[in-house]
């Protein structure tokens, strides 16, 4: 009997020991799981903060580039006003008013650079978006550019930084048409929304407009051949390409012989691409 009691007590002791070990293991695993969950949460928070900082820097760069584009337009308009002042004072007066208005916009943009750097998202609502493209078209109209806009498909919400990038691409494309085509140029802007993406095209007739203004200017078949192989590497082209690539898009630009210039930007998965 005593032997059986000893065996029973020993068995109970062993069982309690392993039960305690199992309990300790469960507690340790629970703590480990909590640590892992906390680590995941900390990492997610860090990634969100880094994304916020990256987005803020992107916004700063975009606002700065917008101000630079406005200043480029100011220079062009100022030169036009200077040449027109002697022949048509009324035209010069309108140009001066437009210059003053754009200068105010440029000043506001530079203030936003400071505010975004300091306050982050607090200034995001003041940054241009696709809802304000009509203002951009109106500004182009004041400089002698006619914009014809077409939109197809069903638009969907995209990340604010992606929306701003699209706006800047459009702005740069229109500025390119204004600078190289000049007054009288017509630009067709088309935005085609797909289920997951967006295709943006900017097509101008700047060459045609220039030939109408200067009918005696030489234009030969050699010009058409050159247009087919011409490569573009200016600052504006590079920035449009970078903005496109940031959101998984494909950028292309080429001169259309005898007509003008064409920019094509395709974002195949814009709905899911946050940069």
pLDDT score at 107: 72
Same domain, 149 and 272: yes
Tell me which of 33-37, 117-121, 126-130, 254-258 is least confident. Answer: 117-121
> In this structure, what CATH number is given to the domain that contains residue 267?
3.30.565.10
Give residue 160's pLDDT band: very low, low, confident or very high (50, 70, 90). Answer: confident
Q: Hey, how many other C-beta atoms are within 10 angstroms of the C-beta on 158?
A: 22
Average pLDDT of 83-90?
Answer: 67
| Whether 86 and 216 share a structural domain | no
Last residue of one domain, picked from the residues 98, 127, 156: 127
Q: For position 179, what pLDDT does the model report?
A: 86
Same domain, 260 and 139: yes
Least confident of 42-46, 61-65, 187-191: 42-46
Whole-number percent of the chain with pLDDT over 70: 52
**The three-state (H, E, C) secondary structure of 49-100, written as one string:** HHHHHHHHHHHHHHHHHHHHHHHHHHHHHHHHHHHHCCCCHHHHHHHHHHHH
Number of domains in the chain: 2
CA dist list (Å): 164 to 43, 128, 246, 266: 28, 7, 12, 15
Task: pLDDT band for 201, please (50, 70, 90 cuts).
Answer: very high
Residues 146 and 121 reside in one and the same domain: no
Question: Does 91 share its domain with 138?
Answer: no
Q: Which residue among 127, 156, 187 closes a domain?
A: 127
Mean pLDDT to the nearest integer, 46-51: 54
Same domain, yes or no: 141 and 115: no
User: Which residues neighbour 29 within 8 Å (Cβ) at sequence distance 6 or greater?
Assistant: none
The structure tokens 């916004």 sit at 59
Do residues 102 and 42 both lie within one domain?
Answer: yes
**Is 135 in the same domain as 212?**
yes
Quote the domain boundaries for residue 22: 1-127
* Same domain as 143, residue 239: yes
90/169 Cα distance (integer angstroms): 33
273 and 144 housed in the same domain: yes
- Average pLDDT over all residues of the chain: 75
Q: Residues 162, 262: one domain?
A: yes
Q: In this model, does residue 84 exceed pLDDT 70? A: no
pLDDT for 239-268, tens place per residue?
899 889 988 999 999 888 888 899 999 999
Last residue of a domain, one of 94, 127, 160: 127
Tell me the percentage of the chain whose pLDDT exceeds 90.
24
Tell me, yes or no, if the pTM score tops 0.85.
Answer: no
pLDDT at position 226 is: 64
Highest-pLDDT range among 22-26, 47-51, 53-57, 254-258: 254-258
Its sign, for the CA torsion 80, 82, 88, 90, is positive
Residue 217: count of CB within 10 angstroms of its CB: 8
Instruction: Please check whether residues 59 and 88 belong to one and the same domain.
Output: yes
| The pLDDT value given to residue 244 | 92
Q: Which residue has the higher pLDDT, 241 or 108?
A: 241
């Amino acid at each position: 009997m005593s032997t059986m009691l000893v065996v029973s007590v020993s068995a109970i002791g062993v069982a309690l020991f392993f039960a305690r070990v199992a309990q300790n293991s469960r507690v340790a695993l629970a703590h480990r799981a909590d640590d892992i969950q906390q680590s995941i949460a900390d990492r997610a928070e860090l990634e969100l903060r880094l994304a916020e900082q990256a987005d803020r820097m992107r916004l700063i760069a975009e606002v700065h580039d917008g101000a630079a584009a406005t200043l480029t337009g100011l220079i062009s308009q100022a030169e036009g006003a200077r040449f027109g002042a002697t022949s048509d004072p009324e035209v010069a007066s309108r140009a001066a008013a437009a210059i003053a208005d754009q200068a105010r916009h440029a000043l506001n943009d530079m203030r936003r650079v400071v505010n975004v750097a300091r306050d982050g998202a607090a200034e995001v609502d003041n940054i241009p978006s696709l809802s304000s493209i009509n203002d951009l078209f109106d500004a182009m109209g004041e400089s002698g550019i006619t914009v014809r806009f077409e939109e197809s498909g069903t638009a969907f919400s995209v990340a604010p930084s992606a929306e701003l990038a699209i706006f800047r691409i459009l702005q740069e494309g229109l500025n390119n048409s204004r600078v190289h085509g000049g007054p009288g140029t017509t630009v067709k802007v088309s935005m085609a929304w797909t289920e997951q993406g967006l295709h943006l095209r900017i097509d101008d007739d700047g060459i045609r407009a220039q030939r109408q203004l200067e009918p005696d200017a030489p234009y030969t078949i050699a010009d058409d051949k050159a247009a087919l192989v011409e490569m573009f590497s200016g600052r504006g082209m590079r920035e449009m390409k970078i903005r496109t690539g940031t959101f998984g898009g494909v950028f292309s630009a080429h001169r259309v012989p005898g007509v003008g210039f064409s920019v094509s930007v395709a974002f195949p998965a814009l709905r899911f691409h946050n940069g």
